[in-house]
Amino acid sequence: MIVGMYTSASGMLAEASRHDAIANNLANVSTTGFKRDAAVIRAHPTQLMHRLNDSLISLGGITSDLAPQVGTRGQGALVDAILPNNTQGSLMQTDNPTDVALEGQGYIMVDTVRGRRYTRAGDFAVDGRGRLVTQAGDPVLTSTGAQIMVGRRRLDIGADGGILLDGEAVGTLGVVEPDDTSMLTKEGESLLAPVPGARFRASGSRVIQGHLERSNVNAVTEMVAMLEALRTYEANQRAITAQDETINTLITQVGRFG
């Protein structure tokens, strides 16, 4: 009986984590370049059950039960990981020359006080020092790691990332791809941080100036998933309540005749 309560409790914890991921997706449904997260839930190993006091016999080197097995029992679930869905979001035309969208699996390099970071949110701006920066004020980098000094000059960015200022080529937008996307972790403010050992290569993603990539979150799908998580959570909660009442009956009523 106690095992059943732990099993139900593990289901509640797993669904709570799933619910948190869905809630974060809904909160970022309008965030530029946001990639939805999904909770990966797996079951604990099942347990083979026998009747109480069963014994084993050995005949001709083959060991078997005197009585058949009862069956298997599940032992709950747990969240294995929270993984992003990196599918391409739809593109929105803005005609703003500092807005940049990527078509492909690349990320734009930016410089932060915590080190180099990567982003899909191309809603850039020009700060007071004339640098092309993110909404948080972090400088956008070229492929060589240099900051992009725009100033009052006209900015043009080609499909290959080539940067022109008043028609003069000054470098290439720093767009890279990780060898393994699991080596990037979300850090907030639409930035992704590399884990130690992450390696990057030049990306063949198409750069589209004057556009932004929308979030790939579908609000309707997320709401349906949230209701499913809530119903599963409540089912596990009711199972715990039922088992608690059974234990209480066992102690208060059956126990009196022991």
* Average pLDDT of span 85-91: 95
Q: What percent of the chain has pLDDT over 70?
A: 90
Q: What is the pLDDT of residues 184-199, one digit of tens each?
A: 999 988 999 999 999 9
Q: What mean pLDDT is predicted for residues 142-156?
A: 96
DSSP conformation letters of the chain: -HHHHHHHHHHHHHHHHHHHHHHHHHHTTTSTT---EEEEEEEPPPEEE--TT--EEEETTEEEESS---EEE---EEEEEEEE--PPPPEEE---TTBEEEESS-EEEEEETTEEEEES--B-EE-TTSBEE-TTSPBBBBTTS-B-B-TTSPEEE-TT-EEEETTEEEEEB-EEEESSGGGEEEEETTEEEEPTT--EEE--PEEEETEEEPP---HHHHHHHHHHHHHHHHHHHHHHHHHHHHHHHHHHTGGGG-
Q: Is the pLDDT of residue 30 over 80?
A: yes
Rounded to whole angstroms, the maximal C-alpha distance in the chain is 94
Query: Which pLDDT value is given to residue 43?
Result: 85
Whole-model pTM?
Answer: 0.83
pLDDT tens for residues 237-248? 999 999 888 888
Q: How far apart are CA 3 and CA 8, in angstroms?
A: 9
Amino acid occupying residue 192? L
> Distance between CA atoms of 54 and 56, rounded to whole angstroms?
7
Mean pLDDT value across residues 146-172: 96
